Chain A
Amino acid sequence: MEAIQFDPEICNQCETVDCLMKCQYIDFRDVAEAKTEKLKINAGEHSRVLDECLTCYACQEYCPYDNNPFYLLVERQEQLGLLPAPRPIVAEQLKMMGPRGRIQKETVSTPVVNMCAFPMLTGCVRGTLFDGASVIVGTDIFCNIMWLHFAKNSAIKERVPQMIDNIMTYYLKDAGVEEMICFHDECYGTYTSVAPAYGIEVPFKPVHLFDYINHRLDELADRITPLNVKIAYQRPCSNRLIPQTDLVLDEIFEKIGADRVPRKYDRENTLCCGGVPRAQQRDNLADELVANNIRDMQAVGASYCVFNCPFCMATLGQEAAENGLMPILVSDLVQMALGE
């Protein structure tokens, strides 16, 4: 297995250490301290960062050199046996999300929408927006990016090629389909960021949901009734791997008349939804993250709390609803504007 693409030279010469200095969850006295910790990580030594990391993926986005600081960090966590979550939690999740081998060949046609391991959300692929779409779903095509939260990139290296093979063999190859729409940021992040960083070949063209929707909205322009609503967006951690897609989302919101109200915890300053820290047994921190997110959304007068990540929605949705914010997925919001 190839090593992660990481250039220690670039890192050593970095003067700002943005990857750590911008971290919202770990404090450093000064750049020098951050640099020291970073060098320890690079050298494969223990650093407190490896223990304290929330695995929010943000440093991937903060690094001005695209030098994969987060992937390296996870690699080191695993090498040093520093599991962010208890062993049985990780072990059980690994089994739970493992391939079942129940996949069967299906005839698909474009657009092929990958719903990853979320069968309960396949109903989202409906209406004019997804006209004629084929849906593929299940743990046999699970993107497996979640292991970045659990210091298990060995699982990523082992399983992602298998998943890619499944997607090709069971769906895309026979149909001659070359593109696959990733409903979730996780999948798109896996195939466009994780895979190249880990040297995994991706034989199809991943298309982000936002790109697909944005394009469809141009085709369906005459059907749009602007919503004229203020929305708060909860940007998911995996979008940190693919920040260019966040700009596409802005275009979508503009087209459907959704005002993405600037809030403190959006864009580069996105705050974790609070889901992953619970796995790390840091519930008090998770409570704080949930409360801060909700307070922030309320403060800007949003009426909808918009998600693209189902896990963020599961984590924050109920609390949002109890506080007068309607939780909704991006695709559902778009469908509202299309009158569906």
Chain B
Amino acid sequence: MTEVIKRLKAIVGDRFVSAEPEERYLYSMDQGTMPPAEPDMVVMPGSTEEVSEIMRLANEYQVPVVPMGGGLVLSGLTRALKGGMILDMKRMNRITEVNPKSRYAVVEGGTSQGMLQAYLKKHHPELKHSMPDAPPIATLAGNVCIHGSGHLSVLGGFHSDMLTGMEVVLPTGEIVRTGSCSVSADWFGKAPLPDLSGLFMGWSGTTGIVTRLGIKLFPNYRHNDLLIFVTEDPRDMPDVIARLTSTQVAEDMTPWMTPKPEWARGFMHINIAYGAHSKEELTFKRNLLQISVKDYIDNKSGGFLPMPPPQKGRFMQLPSPDLARFADVRKGGGFEYVGAIMAIEHFPEAYQAGVRIAEKHDVSYSMGARIVGAGHAMMFFYAYAFNRADPEDMARAQHALEETNSAALDMGGIPWKAELPAQQKIIEKMAPETFALMNRIRHTLDPNHIMNPGNWERA
């Protein structure tokens, strides 16, 4: 390892390689419940070429490489399960292009969501990108690679759907491009080429390292508003969601159900965010949304929360620090969630399963969902808070998470950015031919099996 460290220092500079106990300790875990796994070293590359050199070196010494963005995945995907090096990408945070006419941005692999948001606000106030609910230091590349979603997902689908192209360093060190940028100077999209981007999304860092990516931008409206629909019956939710999405007006729709504060227990809420260029257009859009669920309003079984304008600001903050604050529910700095991607008609059973599991394991929970596309799917999340200083409490959350993963799979959903145990469960359910194909592709790309080993493997 001494030799590897020496050569890594020659590639990225002394300051950006560490094999010290402090970095090895902190990079061995994330905020979730997965047990620590210590890397031998942490490296912070500054350029694609450096990443490429690092990969060649890693192959030479057969050292595992775990790419990491914001390190906020919560499900332990950036742990060095087989040792080796963690590649912290956050030094590569330049925004290299914004195309206002074709509405895309090209950013380096370590660029944070917050930084792109700030950049657009300053230089292109007419544009925005879809912010996930993760804290602003989360990276675009990390989020796209896990099929994340965000506040424009009703409009534009998963963040992986918003990807327009990638520059990737393969496990063997070659630098490749996917999408239009492999043929043209423009990063407008993945069509009409074979979609090689799929080789890198959803693989939990086992197929390559994204060093640059293009992402779709959307109009940033001057006027923005939020409605919150409320009902007491989870069985109404799929229909309500279908009606609301049918208007093609919302940018974001996020149902939420929480037992705390106590007043919210038992109520289903759906936050519906939308925007417009003028106040008249905004009112028109609001009316479309309200008319879509008129039947529920007329029979008094559901309706929109009355909210004066000053109260809405809190719900419209992007991202909202309230989500991180869930970690302090048990005064313990931790939470993890199962985000199950599933069909929307499963909403009622998904909700009931969540209540059942949380009560069984006595965990503090919060549930919700993000609607993706015009009602095409949803990411239904079950978040469990735990006290990091209380191993029993952490274990409770872990058991609840495991059981939730099984429940989600049973109802036809698929755990998102799955932890190691959940990956196993998915593999068990996966068509064997599909898993075999995954392995063949992986072996072709990574013959020495050094990319985030331990993930997507049969136990």
Contacts and interface: CB of A to CB of B under 8 A. Distances in A.
A318 interface: yes
Interface residues of B, dominant DSSP: mixed
Contact of A86 (B265, B283, B302, B308): B302
A281 B310 contact: no
Contacts of A87: 232, 300-301
Contacts of B304: 89, 278, 281, 283
Contacts of B290: 281, 283
Interface stretch (A67-75, A91-99, A109-117): A91-99
A6 interface: no
B305 A89 contact: yes
B308 A314 contact: yes
Contact of B263 (A83, A98, A287, A311): A98
A317 interface: yes
A137 interface: no
B303 interface: yes
B264 A92 contact: yes
Contacts of B301: 86-88
A224 to B, nearest CB: 31
A213 interface: no
Contacts of B263: 92, 95-96, 98
Interface in A285-340: 287, 311, 314-315, 317-319
Contact of B303 (A85, A275, A287, A315): A85
Nearest to A315: B308
B309 interface: yes
Contacts, number: 68
B434 interface: no
Contacts of B303: 85-86, 88-89, 281
A284 B232 contact: no
A279 B297 contact: no
A276 interface: yes
Pick the most buried of B283, B304, B308: most chain A CB atoms within 10 A of its CB: B308
Nearest to A83: B300
Interface string B274-315: 000000000100110010000011001111111111110000
B427 interface: no
B232 A88 contact: yes
Nearest to B307: A278
A86 B230 contact: yes
B230 A89 contact: yes
B267 A92 contact: yes
Interface residues of A, number: 25
Contact of B311 (A98, A283, A314): A314
Contacts of A91: 232, 267
A278 B312 CA distance: 14
Contacts of A287: 283
Interface string B255-281: 000000111110100000000000000
Interface residues of B, number: 27
B231 interface: yes
A96 B287 CA distance: 27
Nearest to B236: A88
A86 B297 contact: yes
B286 A283 contact: yes
Interface in B168-212: none
B302 A275 contact: no
B96 to A, nearest CB: 38
B310 A314 contact: yes
Interface string B75-96: 0000000000000000000000
Nearest to B297: A281
A53 to B, nearest CB: 15
A92 B307 CA distance: 13
A190 to B, nearest CB: 21
Given A86-B296, A88-B267, A281-B297, A318 B310 contact: yes
Interface string B150-183: 0000000000000000000000000000000000
Contacts of A317: 309-310
A276 B306 contact: yes
Given A95-B263, A281-B290, A281-B303, A88 B308 contact: no
Contacts of A314: 308-311
Contacts of A284: 287
Contacts of A315: 308-309
A91 B231 CA distance: 10
Interface in B218-238: 230-232
A276 to B, nearest CB: 7
Pick the most buried of A88, A91, A92, A98: most chain B CB atoms within 10 A of its CB: A88
A85 B301 CA distance: 10
Nearest to B231: A88
Contacts of A281: 290, 297, 303-304
B308 A275 contact: yes
Contacts of A275: 306, 308
Given A314-B309, A314-B311, 11 more contacts: A85-B300, A85-B306, A86-B297, A88-B230, A88-B267, A88-B301, A89-B305, A92-B263, A92-B305, A314-B310, A318-B309
22 contacts: A85-B303, A86-B296, A86-B303, A87-B232, A88-B231, A89-B230, A89-B306, A91-B267, A92-B230, A92-B263, A92-B267, A95-B263, A96-B263, A98-B263, A275-B308, A278-B306, A281-B304, A311-B308, A314-B309, A314-B310, A315-B308, A318-B310
Interface of B: 230-232, 261-265, 267, 283, 286-287, 290, 296-297, 300-311
- Give 6 nearest A-B pairs by CB, closest first: A86-B303, A314-B308, A279-B306, A95-B263, A96-B263, A278-B306
